[in-house]
Chains A and B, each alone.
Chain A
Amino acid sequence: MSDITTTLRERARALMEDGTIAAFIGWEAGRFERQTTPLICLDAADTDRLIFDEYCVNTTAKYVRDLKQRGRIGVAVRGCDSRAINRMIEDNQFKREDVYLLGIPCPQMNDRKTGTVLNKCQDCAHRNPVTYDELLGEAMEETAPQDRYARAHLVSGLDRIARQNIFNMAFERCIRCYACRDVCPCCTCRTCFVDQRNVGWLGKQDNLSENRFYGMIRAFHISDRCIECGECERACPMDLPLMAINKKLVEDMNTLFGEYESGMTTDNEDALRSFSKTDLEEFE
């Protein structure tokens, strides 16, 4: 692991010094043990603070949007980060040449409290970056989960009342901090619908119906683009089963409109912005 940290620092410094990139996005040690925070290096000297270990839980790709006005941005990317980059390129947030990607095959990240592998990493099917300019270290053997939609299947197997209870309780618990939205690489709107007072999509009340409106519509907005990184669920302070929702939507789209994985390329035909005349007809 420390090898990767060393190489990462060297390469990031070199790229900053030769002017290839204007900033570099990675992680640095946090204030607590087994904790890291995202680091944005604006100066070559900052790169010495970079680290990479199994507690770099944050997906950092979204910071590119804030920095892109500075020039080309270097990013340390694992599988999920690289798919996030692809996704944002496809959503026209920046271009591939605006980023310089240092790929890192991911050893899987751990929960800092328990030291066990994070849920989102257990579900991961692409630990190696799917796009990069340089690969640091050796590519991993992929360990795709048995059931891509396991988290949805846990719920979809239950009867309606049980599902209703699960989600009513979950949305009841939601405090609408919008962390799930803020970390999501698909949430690239400038003004989220929840922040628009004039249309009246959502009230400020903290109650089941407003929370559910937010929870469901947020998921629906990213549904055909979700890269299944699980960041939303990890970031949720209330432990809501967000991936049970996202995976359900992804599963339905895969079953109904053809297999795809978002973020693997930048020219995916997103299911909800395309159609086929041969689509299943169930509304006859």
Chain B
Amino acid sequence: MPVVDEKKTTEEEWEPRILAFACNWCTYAGADLAGLNRMKYPANIRLLRVPCSGRVNPQYVLEALQKGCDGVLVCGCHPGDCHYSTGNYYAKRRLMIFKRFLEYVGLEPERFNVKWISASEAGRFRDTVKEFTEGVRKVGPLKESFTLAPSAGDKLFGAHNESEAPASEEGGAA
């Protein structure tokens, strides 16, 4: 398997790596329309086509954030416009909860968002990508808080300094 390009991971030349889950019927088509209109937006984004925002499992989002994406965007049809009538309503509930959850465990709010972009909203797609990319660029690489996983072994060698973090007091009785 090819190795991650070293150049991309160094601080100075860091470019945010952004994954967007795009509904085939709206946002993916909206992005096609943006191409048709030769709109310009940052090249950091990679679209992953799904049939519906309802197909986006929060597990994919967490996987992407933990394995090396600096930001994840989920895009679907506006509520009421779902090609499958209701998929995006479920997606909305799931992702509302999941976004709060991610922020609760310490993720910056800029790194995960959900946007409704219809097939006709090429301009909105462009603006969303620009805004989101800038937001992620502002908060920087996602390695301190989420990606870099000190292995259990690191603890033994003192790589993880526990005294710096406040102690957790929420432990239940055994």
Contacts and interface: CB of A to CB of B under 8 A. Distances in A.
Interface of A: 111, 113-114, 118-120, 151, 154-156, 160-170, 172, 193, 201, 205-210, 212-213, 216-217, 219-220, 223, 230, 233-234, 236-237, 239-245, 248-249, 252-253, 256-257, 271-273, 275, 277, 279-284
Contacts of A120: 172
B114 interface: yes
A212 B105 contact: yes
B152 A154 contact: no
Contacts of B152: 172, 206-207
Interface in B73-132: 79-80, 86, 89-90, 92-98, 100-101, 103-108, 113-116
Secondary structure of the A contact surface, majority rule: helix
A216 B145 CA distance: 15
B37 interface: no
B154 to A, nearest CB: 9
A156 B101 CA distance: 10
A243 B174 contact: no
B61 to A, nearest CB: 10
Contacts of B105: 163-164, 167, 212, 216, 245
A217 B62 CA distance: 9
A160 B147 contact: no
A249 B94 CA distance: 11
Pairs of residues from A and B, 9 with the lowest C-beta to C-beta distance, nearest first:
A164-B106, A241-B170, A239-B171, A233-B172, A165-B165, A275-B89, A209-B149, A208-B149, A111-B173
B10 interface: no
B129 to A, nearest CB: 15
Contacts of B145: 164, 168
A279 B91 CA distance: 12
Given A118-B172, A155-B170, A271-B93, 4 more contacts: A119-B173, A236-B171, A253-B97, A275-B86
Contacts of A253: 97
A231 to B, nearest CB: 9
B151 A169 contact: no
Contacts of B67: 209
A256 B97 contact: yes
B141 to A, nearest CB: 15
29 contacts: A120-B172, A154-B169, A154-B170, A160-B103, A160-B106, A164-B145, A166-B168, A168-B165, A172-B150, A201-B63, A205-B151, A207-B150, A208-B150, A213-B59, A213-B63, A213-B66, A216-B101, A219-B101, A220-B97, A240-B171, A241-B171, A244-B170, A253-B97, A256-B97, A279-B79, A279-B96, A281-B79, A281-B92, A283-B116
B158 interface: no
Contacts, number: 159
Size category of the binding interface on chain B? 35 or more
Given A170-B168, A209-B147, A279 B89 contact: yes
Contacts of A239: 171-172, 174
B104 A155 contact: yes
Interface string B6-49: 00000000000000000000000000000000000000000000
A156 B92 CA distance: 22
A225 B29 CA distance: 36
A119 B172 contact: yes
Contacts of B92: 275, 279, 281, 283
Contacts of B63: 201, 213
Nearest to B90: A275
B160 interface: yes
A155 B105 CA distance: 9
- Counting chain A CB atoms within 10 Å of each CB, the highest count among B67, B105, B152 belongs to B105
A212 B169 CA distance: 19
A205 B96 CA distance: 30
Contacts of B155: 172
B51 interface: no
Contacts of B149: 207-210
Contacts of A223: 97
Contacts of B103: 160
Contacts of B107: 164
B2 interface: no
